[in-house]
Structure 1
Amino acid sequence: MRERAVREVKTSGRPVSHVARDLGIHEEALRQWVRQAETDRGERPDLLTTAEKSELAQLRKENAELRRANEILKAASVFFAKELDQPRTRPTR
């Protein structure tokens, strides 16, 4: 549906609003689809391609996971440092 709608806008030369109304799609949704298709074809270098958006989302997710792991490691190192700093006593017999 998305590809058909974008193709219709490109080939017909009709305004996005007219094509959207004819296909029963929200005008702004179709406008975004057309913009993204232009970006993916290299016609809009100012925007991120679908592949770049996907990579960025994956990197953000990975970054968040690494930050959580880093916080856990920091907390564990503080815990173990405190354990090592405590004086050791010999058990009495």
Structure 2
Amino acid sequence: MTGCYWVYILASRPNGTLYVGVTRDLVRRCYEHREGLVEGFTRQHGVKQLVYFEAHDDVRIALQREKNIKHWSRQWKIELIRSGNPEWCDLYESIVG
């Protein structure tokens, strides 16, 4: 199963609540989170800012990467975010361009 799959991390604010997900359509999925269209954790905790994402060609690899990141300590997740986005900028505008 090949294509483009995205592993992403959303945050409520810098160093705030984090959410790790995987999707085939990153723009659509982030829009759903931002607008509160997704019931559950992200809406309940105000987790809307896209702070990290990475692409994978194989859904199995993307799903495994998501699981791995979810099991990391909070500090490791923060370090992953800071490695590519030290200011915790919302990257949403960079993907909708």
TM-score range, shorter chain: under 0.3
Q: Say which one has the larger Rg.
A: 1
Give the TM-score normalised by the residue count of structure 2.
Answer: 0.25
Question: More strand by proportion, 1 or 2?
Answer: 2
Give the TM-score normalised by the residue count of structure 1.
Answer: 0.25
Higher relative contact order (CA 8 A, sep 6+): 2
Question: More helix by proportion, 1 or 2?
Answer: 1
